[in-house]
Structure formats: structure tokens, C-alpha cells
Structure 1
Amino acid sequence: MFAIQTNPQPMSLAAAKAVGIDVGYGFVKAVSPVARVSFPSVVAPYIEDPLSGLFYDGTGHRVRVRKANGEVEEKLVGEAALRSLAATATLSREKPASLHDLMLLAAAYLAGAGDKGPFPKQVDLAVGLPLAYFRAQKDALKKRLEGLAAWVSVDGGEERYISFGKVLVFPQGAGVVLAGDVVLPGNGYLGVVDVGTYTIDYLLFEDRGDGVPRPLPEACGSLEAGVNLLHRALAAEFQRQTGAPLAPSMYQEVVEDALAGRPIHYAGKDIHLEEKLLKARRDVAQAIAQGVLAAWSSRASFVAMTLLAGGGACLFGEELLRSLPGARVAKEPLFANAMGYLKMVCNND
């Protein structure tokens, strides 16, 4: 069912003075004092809708970025980009700056950042990086974002100038603890497992009874695994049944169909992937759990609680709850990191 709209406009928001943004491989998440936003990490060229928005369903966004040198870029991001035949997502360890920064500016705008002027105020920003890449990329990312500035408009809304004053970069997964909503074990170990699309970040903290979580560096790291392994299993099964490859831009759609028990219509046939989804979900969750437990080594049996965060926490939650010690899903797992980043940038004045 499509909502018939004409010239849809974004919601008007009060200006946000700070924003925490988690630019993941699967989804971009942003949290500010006035809004929270999420959309798939996909970008596509903007092409004028020949139907003039008659069947616009309100999903996805058209982003217009005007830089100081006069260069103008107009793209689709999120669900709108997923529907494009030219959709682009990044699989590389270091996200291309052009894609990363466009999605970040769009998320910041939608979360209320930016000012019309005449003397635009800067916004404080906190972001994260996977633990495996944090040490190598954090300084370069911080410097680049400190220099990022542009006039931004989303979905035809007012043009706002967005630039960043204070920029903080945190290791991914740490935001779950930084958010401050965690009840520490009192005298024991707290684990965090952040399940993303292409990386699993795991952390282990010791609480000596004083309420201060102390990370164990040798028990913190990343696994190059995640929801993408589930995508690959379903794509392989789709190709086995049809003889045709499945476009990466359709992975999320296929997962959602399989979860809902809906067949995929292809070449006049109904392709069922529900059974493969269930098996792949168990297999991937077991691989994640075994990788984390191996990294925690002899301390694993002493972990009092393991917090599960990230979009994959919902997808694999049932299996991981049985496999990891004291496991429970964090409050609002999709936004947990971004919420922590925002809290830290607001408290760092």
C-alpha cells in the first residue's frame, strides 16, 4: 500500500547542538536531544521521479549538499537508494569518504543539526569506528570531520549549514557502556557484543565493586563477521534455486521476506528461503558466540552479564542469549552506540 503524497516535507525540528552518529555498514543511526534517525547505508544517484511523487511512500531521502566551492551534489540515501538500480553500499574496511560523509551529513540534518544563519553555529559530533580499525583510522577521521562543512537540504526542506566544532571518535561497542544505562555486576566482568553487518565488536570490562568499568585490552577486538554471513548464505541458496545471482542491494529485502515467511517471486516461480534463513541464523550465531568466547578465553566463565547491541542483536538475539554468559539485549540495541556517543560529547564540555 502506497501513501499518495505531493511534495513531502521533512519534519521541522529545533536545532540540535550535538549529535551522536553511528555510520554502520548496514545502517546509519543518529541521536540528538531532539530526534533519532536510522536508514540503510546505501547511496544512489538522484533521478527525477517521472510520476512526480504520486506513489511516494515516505521512505528514504533525497539529499542535496552544496559545498563552499559551489559544487552541488544530489543523491538518494536509505530506502530510496535501495530501490535504485544504481544503489551503492560499501564493503571496504575504510568507507569511502564521499559516501561516509554524505550519509553522515544527511543523518545530522534529519536529527536536527544545522543552522540557517546568518552566522551558523557549529554542532558537536561524536562518531565511532570498529575496534579493529579504531587505532589506524581515528585520527584521520577526526581531522576530516573537523573540516567537513556544507549547506544541506533533505527532501526539499530548508537549506541548513552544517559544520562541526568538537569532534570525538570512540571505539564501536564502547557506546553501549558509555550510555550509562548499564547496571554493573558489582564485582565481576561485563561483556559487550555489538553485532553489525560486517563486524562484530566485543569488549570485556572488569568491575572491582567501585562502579567503574575497566576494559581488558586483550579481551577486546573485532571479528570480521556479522549479518553479511547471513546475507551470503541466503544469496547462495537463491542462486542454487534459480541459477541467478542476487543483487546485494536486495539482501535486506530478502531477509525481511524470509523472516515474514513470504516467498520471493522470480521468473514466474515462488522461491522460499525460510528454512535456509533459520539454519543460517543458527550457524552464524554459533560462529559469533564461539569467536567471542575464544577471545575472552579463561575469563568467559566469570562474565556476569553480556550486553548485546547493534542491529544484529535483534536478528541473532534468541540464539546468542543461549550461547553467551548472562546475555541480554541492550535497551534500544540499534541506537545504543549512538546514544552513548551523544552522552559523551554532551558531557565533554
Structure 2
Amino acid sequence: MKDYIIGIDHGNGYMKTVGSVFISGLDTYIVEPPMAEGVLRMDGAYHVIGENRKAYDPDKTKTMDYYYLTLAAIAKEIEMRKYPRKDGSFILACGLPIEFFGKQKDAFKTYLSQKKEVHFWYSGKDYHIRIKKVVIFPQGYAVIAPQIASYDGRVNVIDVGSGTIDILQVINKKPVLSKCISLQVGILTCIDDIQKYFRMQYNMELDDYSIQEVLQLRTGDLPEELAASTQELICEYTKKVLAELEQKGINLRFQKCLFCCGGSLVFKNYGDLKGENIIFNTDIHANAKGFEWLCRGMER
């Protein structure tokens, strides 16, 4: 039987596969919702996927939420790639931030492979699949792995995620393990700080959608004054993070630095980053693609 590989990046803000991205949010109901789209039915309940993001927690195995989000991600890839919904055999290629990789790898693998055969219903369709294997890779490294042969000298890979910013230093194509660190200052830190500011300054709640629009250089439905305040706070956030990177020994003036994944767009838009040594890969699917590439190499 053929095994199908699906790469999944379990972000604190967004779930990403090669072909899809959706908010890492889940709301559970006992009564069936009026619309089937985006609804996962399993374990006697209905789980509405992708509406309200979860609070940041570095341990994704505490609840069943990320397991249900994983099944939704698998279903999306099955539909996009025309994989079999019944009796297909799947290998999940996933990842963890560098700081948590050693401590959480085994537990996360056990969590994702808790059922060898899974029967669930998503967006009005039945799925009956087999999880043959789960493999876990370090985030960030997966982004550059397919092009590692082209990296000469020293490169600082800075994977900007929602929960963490993971730093991996590569010298002459080899990761330097002593330089692998994760900072708890991901994009959600910026969003939370902006929301606190608006509660204190304007006595109002600013939702994630409004902030995400400004992060991507759009104003959405925000008035000009509020959009300008949000932009100032984002600039302050990027300055703090870049200063922290400098404190960790990353010289942004001359060392080659690759800012990658979806959150890197914030630093491209708002960070005062100049010079030929600064590179951006803003592909939000980059880790998921890298997980699949690494997994295919292992299987060969």
C-alpha cells in the first residue's frame, strides 16, 4: 500500500500544510452547528475549526485540541491532492521549535499517533485513514534543508512564528547546536501588547483580524488614527526583538540573516533591516514543505 506524506506545521497562531493555512482555533459544541463547512465531528462532539485562536501554550499535548486541528489539516490536504479518504495510509511530517525539540519530541509523536486508525467526519465528508508513522523535525532547519548545499559560510536562520522566534546558526552547511535558541517573543506577543494598549488607551477591544490587517500593511476597517497607533506599536515590537537578537550575538549589520516563514513579513514591513546580508523568505508554508522534503529523504 502506498504511503502518503503530509507535512503539518502546528503553529500557535496558524496551522499550515503545503496547500492550506487556517487559524489554530477550535470551539466545541454538543449540538450540530447549522453549517458543515469547517466542522469536525469526532468523540461525540462537533469541533468548529479555525475561528478563534487558542491562547499560547508551549505544550500542545495538554488537550485534544491540536489533535483535532491535525485531523482537519489532513482532511484539507486529502481534498487538495486527491488522496483517498478511505483506507489511505499516511505519514505525518511535523515539527517543534528548536528549544522544545529535545524535551517534547517523543511526547508530541505519541500524541499525534495515539490512534493508528482514525474515523472522523469533516466538512460533510467521512474519512477513515491509517496513521502509519509520525516524524518530528526542528522548525527553521526544515526551511533551509532543501537548499542547504547553497549555504556557504555562516547563516543565521531566524524563523519568526506566532509563539516563538527560533534561531538556528548554520556554518558551512552544518547547524551549530550551541547556537540554537528559541525566544518567547513571537508575533502573538506583539498582538497581545497591542490589545492591552487599546484596552488601556481607548477602552476598547481590538480583535486579531484588525491587527493582522495592519501587520500586512493594510488598514482594513480601522480608522486612520487607530491604524497609525497600531503601526507605531508594531515598530516598537520589531525594535525590541531585533535588539534581543543583537544581545544573543547576531550582528544584523554584516552577518547573513535569513528571516523566514509567515511572521518574517512583519519584519520585512516594519523592521529597520537593510543590507545585502538580510534575506527574507516570507512563505508561510515553508516549514511544512521542508518537513515533507526531509521525510521523503528518510523514506528513500
In the superposition, the TM-score normalised over structure 2's length comes to 0.86
Cα distance in 2 between the residues matched to 1:72 and 1:23: 24
- 1:202 CA displacement: 0.7
Are residues 185 and 170 of structure 1, via their aligned partners in 2, closer, same or farther at CA, if it must alter by over 3 Å?
A: closer
Q: How many residues align?
A: 291
Give the partner amino acid of 2:208: Y
Deviations 1:292-319 (A, max 9, x none): 233235x76663x322222211122134
1:329 to 268, 280, 294: 280
Are residues 334 and 141 of structure 1, via their aligned partners in 2, closer, same or farther at CA, if it must alter by over 3 Å?
A: same
Give the match for residue 130 of structure 1: 97
Give the match for residue 8 of structure 2: 21
The residue correspondences of 1:195-214 to structure 2 (distance < 5 A) are 195-207=160-172, 213-214=173-174
Contact in 2 for aligned 1:238/1:271 (Cα 8 Å): no
The residue correspondences of 1:216-255 to structure 2 (distance < 5 A) are 216-246=176-206, 250-255=207-212
1:344 to 264, 286, 294: 294
**Corresponding position: 1:61 with 2:38:** yes
Give the match for residue 165 of structure 1: 132
1:76 to 48, 56, 64: 48
Give the match for residue 144 of structure 1: 111
Q: Identity, % of aligned pairs?
A: 23
- 1:139 CA displacement: 0.8
Larger Rg: 1
Give the partner amino acid of 1:230: C
Give the partner amino acid of 2:142: G
1:39 to 14, 22, 32: 22
Contact in 1 for aligned 2:5/2:92 (Cα 8 Å): yes
Secondary structure at 2:88 match in 1:
coil
**Corresponding position: 1:261 with 2:219:** yes
1:100 to 66, 74, 85: 66
Cα distance in 1 between the residues matched to 2:156 and 2:41: 41
Deviations 1:214-249 (A, max 9, x none): 111221110000212321232123213432455xxx
- 1:182 CA displacement: 5.5
Give the match for residue 257 of structure 2: 306
- 1:274 CA displacement: 1.4
The residue correspondences of 1:168-183 to structure 2 (distance < 5 A) are 168-178=135-145, 180-181=146-147
Cα distance in 1 between the residues matched to 2:235 and 2:214: 18
Cα distance in 1 between the residues matched to 2:154 and 2:225: 43
Cα distance in 1 between the residues matched to 2:156 and 2:270: 17
In the superposition, the TM-score normalised over structure 1's length comes to 0.74
- 1:129 CA displacement: 0.8
Give the match for residue 284 of structure 1: 237
Cα distance in 2 between the residues matched to 1:155 and 1:63: 7
- 1:261 CA displacement: 2.5
- 1:90 CA displacement: 3.2
- 1:38 CA displacement: 0.6
Cα distance in 2 between the residues matched to 1:19 and 1:122: 11
Deviations 1:82-130 (A, max 9, x none): 3xxxxx613211023401111011001110187444xx23201111111
2:17 to 19, 24, 30: 30
Are residues 318 and 16 of structure 1, via their aligned partners in 2, closer, same or farther at CA, if it must alter by over 3 Å?
A: farther
User: What are structure 1's unaligned runs of at least 5 residues?
Assistant: 1-14, 54-59, 66-70, 83-87, 208-212, 265-269
Are residues 237 and 262 of structure 1, via their aligned partners in 2, closer, same or farther at CA, if it must alter by over 3 Å?
A: farther
- 1:37 CA displacement: 0.9
Contact in 1 for aligned 2:259/2:280 (Cα 8 Å): yes
Contact in 2 for aligned 1:20/1:341 (Cα 8 Å): yes
1:190 to 131, 148, 155: 155
Are residues 240 and 300 of structure 1, via their aligned partners in 2, closer, same or farther at CA, if it must alter by over 3 Å?
A: closer
Report the more deviating stretch, 41-50 or 133-142. Answer: 41-50
Are residues 319 and 182 of structure 1, via their aligned partners in 2, closer, same or farther at CA, if it must alter by over 3 Å?
A: farther
Secondary structure at 1:28 match in 2:
strand
Deviations 1:132-181 (A, max 9, x none): 21111001111222233421222112x11233212111111111112x14
